[in-house]
Amino acid sequence: MALTKITRELLSTGIDDNSNATAITIDSSERVGINVTSPTAKLSLPAQASGDSGIARFAIESAVDSNDFTIAQYEDGTGTYTQIGQNISLTSGGNVSVLDSGHKTAGITFDGRGNGALMFQTGAANANTEKMRIDSSGDIKNTGGTTTTHTIFADSGSSEGTANITFNTDGASTDQALANIKMTQDGGTAQKGEMYFQVSDNGAPATAISIFNNKYVQMAAGITFGGDTATANLLDDYEEGSWTPAFEGTSTSVTVHSASYTKIGRLVHITCYLSGMTASNNGSMQKVTGLPFDHTSTTWAALSIGYCGTVNLNDVLPITEQDWIYFHQNDGSSSTLTRADFYSRAGGAFPLIMSGVYMTSE
Annotated domain spans of the chain: 1-43, 47-146, 162-235, 240-359
Q: Which residue has the higher pLDDT, 362 or 353?
A: 353
Q: Is the CB of residue 253 less than 8 Å from the CB of residue 290?
A: no
**What is the pLDDT averaged over residues 108-120?**
91
User: How far is residue 178's CA from residue 343's CA, in Å, rounded to a whole number?
Assistant: 66
Q: Does the reported pTM lie above 0.85? A: no
**pLDDT at position 176, please?**
83
Write out pLDDT tens, residues 119-139. 999 999 999 999 999 999 888
User: How far is residue 178's CA from residue 354's CA, in Å, rounded to a whole number?
Assistant: 50
**Exposed, middle or buried, 159 (CB in 10 Å: 0-12/13-18/19+)?**
exposed
- pLDDT above 90 as % of the chain: 48
Write out pLDDT tens, residues 35-79. 888 889 998 888 766 556 668 888 999 999 999 999 998 888 888
Among 345, 349, 347, 352, smallest CA distance to 331 is for: 345
**pLDDT at position 84, please?**
96
Q: What share of the chain is helix, strand, coil (3-state, %, to 5)?
A: 5, 45, 50
Res 12 pLDDT > 50: no
**What is the pLDDT averaged over residues 9-35?**
69
Computed over its alpha carbons, how large is the radius of gyration of the chain? 41
Among 250, 281, 269, 244, smallest CA distance to 351 is for: 250
**pLDDT at position 309, please?**
93
- Residues 276-290 as b/e (b if ≥16 CB within 10 A, e otherwise) read ebbbbeeeeebbbeb
